[in-house]
Structure 1
Amino acid sequence: MPLTRRQTRTFVAVMVGLILTLSVLATVLITRGWADDDVQRQVEQQETERRQQMPRLSPDE
């Protein structure tokens, strides 16, 4: 069953609003994460641990 023109416009408006809301939320959360020193330390620690776990390729092999 196809949507009426009004239902289609309402659906599109709701979807665009949802996308914009999620974009703003993501921006706020990312910005707060950048400003939080504890979060930055955790990220740096995780990156360091991952680098140490990566296999090393030596030129001698």
Structure 2
Amino acid sequence: MSGALKAAWGLTAFVILAGAAGWLITGRAVFAVFIVLGVLTAVGALLTGRSERAATKEEHNP
């Protein structure tokens, strides 16, 4: 796992937790946007990880 991918997962966790905490503390649903952005970041990290693994397999199996 590359450093950029680790950073993406860390950012994902932070954004989702910050959104959930903000929503619970204030009761304002606007913090749901943070949760949605965190989920979108997770999807991007998953897609990046899959393409990274595919590229690695191609390099090892010409």
| Bucket of the pairwise TM-score, normalised by the shorter protein | 0.5 to 0.7
Q: What is the Cα-based RMSD across aligned positions, in Å?
A: 1.7
Give 1 or 2 for the bigger CA radius of gyration: 1
Tell me the number of residue pairs that the alignment of Structure 1 and Structure 2 aligns.
37
* Residues 1:12 and 2:21 aligned together: no
The structure carrying a bigger helix percent of its residues is 2
Structure 2 unpaired stretches of 5+: 1-21
Shift of 1:11: 1.2
| Larger relative contact order (CA 8 Å, sep ≥ 6) | 2
Please report how far the alpha carbon of residue 6 of structure 1 lies from its aligned counterpart in structure 2 after TM superposition.
1.3
Alignment of 1:40-55 (within 5 A): none
Number of the residue aligned with 1:25: 48
Q: Identity, % of aligned pairs?
A: 5
Give the match's secondary structure for 1:36.
Answer: helix
Deviations 1:5-61 (A, max 9, x none): 111x10110110111010000000000000013xx6xxxxxxxxxxxxxxxxxxxxx
Q: Which stretches in structure 1 are left out of the alignment for 5+ residues?
A: 41-61
